[in-house]
Structure 1
Amino acid sequence: MKKHTIAVLVNDQPGVLQRVSGLFGRRGFNIESITVGASEEQGLSRMVIVTTGTDQMLEQITKQLYKLIDVIKVVDLSASPMVARELALLKVSAEPNVRPEIFGVVETFRASVVDIGTHSLMVQVVGDTDKIDAMIELMKPYGIKELSRTGVTALTRGNAR
């Protein structure tokens, strides 16, 4: 079992997300992360889906996706060098006496403080999944009040298209 990152180019139509995610559910495959947004082409959206499974599972999913009317193209991004990023916002308990420590962690991760409250800080961190996970682990001792993650978005590196 390995992690697969799949890009699915779809028509920008109501219900497409439900049909694509439903396909995974009916087959018993878990979606670890899914992001959807506009693509470079008007009227098309790009879905980036992260799932875990065998190569045979990925082949089966790809064939099933192509059977959906609104699916234009399916690409296994993890088969080539790719750039993958995720964004997380963490609201952390931060009394004035511990803020210098938190700012040190934020600086080390090239993250940024995007909001300061009387008893909390909101930190924005962008990077690969491992970087986000590491930042969350380091912030746990301070007390994470709220956490929101975007999920992975990715493109292949270089001139590949």
Structure 2
Amino acid sequence: MNERKHTIAVLVNNQPGVLQRVAGLFGRRGFNIESITVGESEEPGLSRMVIVTVGDEHTLDQVTKQLYKLIDVIKVVNLSSHPMVARELALIKINAEPGMRPEILGIVDTFRAAVVDIGPHTLIVQVVGDSDKIDAMVELLKPYGIRELTRTGVTAMVRGSVH
């Protein structure tokens, strides 16, 4: 079985219960959802879900066919089969005594991140990028003591004018 990461965009009617039905379908097929983001799309009344999951091509094809059977699903696109732009946002609250801040700010600058809150003993850093960039920044900030971490999940779209 050749499992790999897939990023799928699902255009759906903005109706109660759609997210639950889509997520349930993945669970029944044995797909773990690594991340899922949902928000309004360019079409009024429609939302776009971007789902990151791991599985083989056959199972992904089956999930796609099952998604189309859900009444509120309009369109399914396997974004990872095309050149795509994918981004995630993370907020990271770290221990930051005043003497350590210049060192931490060096890391923040290197990653083109931003300090969005300064407390007496902490900083909250915002970083935007692909998942690998965020993972790398988290690893570099761990020695300072991460108090809290939250990530949005991946959002993505195909490059150029393909879709």
TM-score (ref. length: structure 2): 0.98
Question: 1:95 & 1:112 partners in 2: Cα distance?
Answer: 17
Question: How does 1:87-106 map onto structure 2 within 5 Å?
Answer: 87-106=89-108
- Amino acid aligned to 1:147: L
SS of the aligned residue for 2:99 comes to: coil
Map Cα deviations across residues 59-91 of structure 1 (whole Å, 9 max, x no partner): 011001000000000000000000000000000
CA-CA distance at 1:26 after TM superposition:
1.3
User: Are residues 1:68 and 2:55 paired?
Assistant: no
Q: Within the alignment, does 1:159 sit opposite 2:147 as a pair?
A: no
SS of 2:31's equivalent? coil
Q: Give identity over the alignment, percent.
A: 76
Describe the superposition over 1:90-144 as per-residue Cα deviations: whole angstroms up to 9, x where unpaired: 0000000100000000000000000000000000000000000000000000000
1:13 to 12, 15, 18: 15
* Count of residue correspondences: 161
CA–CA distance in structure 2, aligned partners of residues 148 and 113 of structure 1? 15
Give unpaired runs (5+ residues) of structure 1. Answer: none
Runs of 4+ in structure 1 deviating by more than 2 angstroms, as ranges, are: none
What amino acid is aligned across from residue 60 of structure 1 in structure 2?
A: Q
Q: Residue 152 of structure 1: CA displacement? A: 0.1
Matches of 2:59 and 2:139 in 1, distance apart?
A: 32
Which one of the candidate residues 91, 115, 118 is aligned to 2:117? Answer: 115
Listed as ranges, the gaps of 5+ residues in structure 2 are none
TM-score of the superposed pair, with normalisation by structure 1: 0.99
Residue from 137, 145, 156 that aligns with 1:143: 145
